[in-house]
Amino acid sequence: MIEINNVSKSFGSLEVLKGIDLKVEKGEVLSVIGASGSGKSTLLYCINALEPIQGGEIRVDGIDVHGAKTDVNKLRRHIGMVFQQWNSFPHMTTLENVALAPRIVLGKTKAEAREIAARQLDHVGLGDKLDTYPTNMSGGQQQRLAIARALAMEPDYMLFDEVTSALDPELVGEVLDTLKMLSEEGMTMILVTHEIPFARDVSDRVAFFRQGVIEEIGPPSQVIGDPTSEHTKQFLSNVR
Ligand code: ADP
Ligand code: MG
């Protein structure tokens, strides 16, 4: 479980997260929506200890993420993260890209790491691209490669930050299908997205962020289907 208790985060004098409280249970899919600059990405970075926090506490499976004694590298093995921009190694095949972390970080043998990589690539529908170089693939395929790389660490949690935002429209669907598959397999996920119909379809809960606070949170039928906050209504009417 991910527990976020009264978390505040600033960049200099700019307060970006203002007392966030949020729990994500095992197996839950939480979508985070909200305008650009509302603090969505920052929250994900704080969960993964890529950013320090100034107040409150984040616990992942009971471990204090920002605790002085916490082994953040060990923690991050349990939390996969995929960003908007794919960042695979261009000089390695897809198989080599995915096998890298199991080999280096998990200490698997070369054969084991390749076996894991082939399995995860097959899982995201790239089973016929094992020897392809990322630069020879579409943006949608490269994002699925990035997802396979994260899955190869067998994470307990996945954080997705606008993974379809940089894609041509015709490539969005294949990546969303992959996310949906993961949700159906029971993966615990936090999904920052502007794909509102998708969020409605796939999420257990939706959180609407506004200026560093959670303005509204609840099941998609409420937050997207029948929002109570005027700000949520306005945001949804703008993105639709
Ligand atoms: P979102 O993902 O919702 O668009 P972000 O979490 O990226 O929002 O950003 C929230 C606010 O924090 C924005 O005003 C942004 O400019 C600011 N910010 C984000 N990262 C940094 C940083 N590394 N240094 C200074 N300001 C930052
Ligand atoms: Mg962002």
Q: pLDDT digit string (tens) for 176-214?
A: 999 999 999 999 999 999 999 999 999 999 999 999 999
Q: Where are the domains of the chain?
A: 2-239
Name which of 172, 145, 165, 152 is nearest 89 in CA terms: 145
> In the structure, what pLDDT confidence band is assigned to residue 92 with cuts at 50, 70 and 90?
very high
* Closest C-alpha residue for ligand 1 atom 21: 11
Write down the pTM of the prediction.
0.96
For helices 110-123 and 139-151, angle between their N-to-C axes, nearest 10 degrees: 130
How much is the mean pLDDT over the chain? 96
> In the structure, what pLDDT confidence band is assigned to residue 85 with cuts at 50, 70 and 90?
confident
Distance, CA of 235 to CA of 240 (rounded, Å): 9
The pLDDT tens digits of the residues spanning 35-74 come to 999 999 999 999 999 999 999 999 999 999 999 999 999 9
* Closest C-alpha residue for ligand 1 atom 5: 39
According to the model, what pLDDT value does residue 239 have?
86
Alpha helix ranges (H) inside 105-153: 110-123, 139-151
Q: For residue 229, what are its two tokens?
A: 């906050």
Specify the CATH number of the domain 2-239: 3.40.50.300
193 pocket-lining for ligand 1 (C-beta < 6 Å): no
Nearest atom in ligand 1 to 35's CA: 3
What residues are paired with 33 via a beta bridge? 208
The pLDDT tens digits of the residues spanning 107-157 come to 999 999 999 999 999 999 999 999 999 999 999 999 999 999 999 999 999
Distance, CA of 205 to CA of 34 (rounded, Å): 14
40 pocket-lining for ligand 1 (C-beta < 6 Å): yes
Burial class (CB in 10 A: 0-12, 13-18, 19+), 91: exposed
DSSP type of residue 195? -
**Interface ipTM > 0.90:** yes
Residue the block writes with tokens 């395929």: 141
Nearest atom in ligand 1 to 45's CA: 6
Distance, CA of 185 to CA of 165 (rounded, Å): 24
**How far is C-alpha 232 from the geometric centre of its chain's CA atoms?**
22
* Closest C-alpha residue for ligand 1 atom 14: 37
Residue 86 clears pLDDT 90, i.e. is over it: no
Give the percent of the chain with pLDDT over 70. 99
Contact predicate 189/16, CB 8 Å: no
Q: For residue 166, what are its two tokens?
A: 């940089």
Q: What spacing in Å lies between the alpha carbon of 1 and ligand 1's midpoint?
A: 25
3-class secondary-structure state, position 169 = helix
Give the percent of the chain with pLDDT over 90. 97
